[in-house]
Amino acid sequence: MTSFDLSGKTALVTGGSRGIGAAIVKLFAEHGATVGYCHYGDNANAAALQDRMSAAGYKIAHTICDVSREEAVHQLKVWSDAELGHVDILVNCAGIGGDLLFEDITIAEFDRQIGVHLRGTFMVTKQFYSPMAEKGWGRIINVSSQLAYKGAPGQSHYCAAKAGIVGFTRALSYEAAPKGVTVNSIAPGPVETDMLMGLSDSWRQMKLNQLPAKRFGRVNEIAPTALLLASDEGSFFVGQTLSPNGGDIML
């Protein structure tokens, strides 16, 4: 058997049209999985990714979903049941950026961060967890951030949401692992994505100066962590947060 083989498995990746999510979609498909992914307002990238992967012979499909809205998440499950059938592997990767000092963050902006990252992770997991538990096998992988541990100026709302994901991951693991479902999270360091480039030049330079690696990560350096956690080889990871981060934080 090929290591990290996902043949016969079906995966769903939220926020899968670009960045880390797209890299995970690509890697899972290359390792044999049928992959569905959703996006919100990123039609061009989502379609281009599906065209490339379908042309290469991979089984792939995508749809639109605002994971912060309960009805949209319900419709994601309806779509998934029709297009994918049973989902074995769920990756909660949908995310948004934010770079505001605490005094400038409105309640609406705080709610949006919590809604997409934490509430979205909770609601999507709520839809897909029970069928995994009933089947006795499943993988749930939640994308957090190293900022959940380290914090950063201008990121208090983002950090709070991402830290919540880590707590949710640990708590659910106690209930899920006895049923054959592993729940883990990934806390990447700063990675070259559109979200990172949306932050200020001064913030990015500050972060480069801090990093022992002296460079930002690449999405194809993060996706293999998800592949490990999704595979049979990752079956003994339970409630863990793995952090490929260039030395930004060392646990």
Query: Per the structure block, which two tokens stand in for 124?
Result: 């999507």
Helices (H), the chain: 19-30, 43-55, 70-83, 107-113, 120-135, 147-150, 156-176, 194-197, 201-210, 219-230
Q: Are the beta carbons of 15 and 142 closer than 8 angstroms?
A: no
Is 158 catalytic? The answer is yes
Closest CA to 29 of 16, 41, 47, 45: 16
Closest CA to 176 of 148, 220, 134, 221: 134
Q: Write the burial class of residue 74 (CB in 10 Å: 0-12 exposed, 13-18 middle, 19+ buried).
A: middle
Check 37, 40, 129, 158 and give the catalytic one: 158
Residue type, 50: Q
Q: Compute the Cα dihedral for 201, 13, 181, 165 and give only its sign.
A: positive
Residue numbers annotated as active site: 158
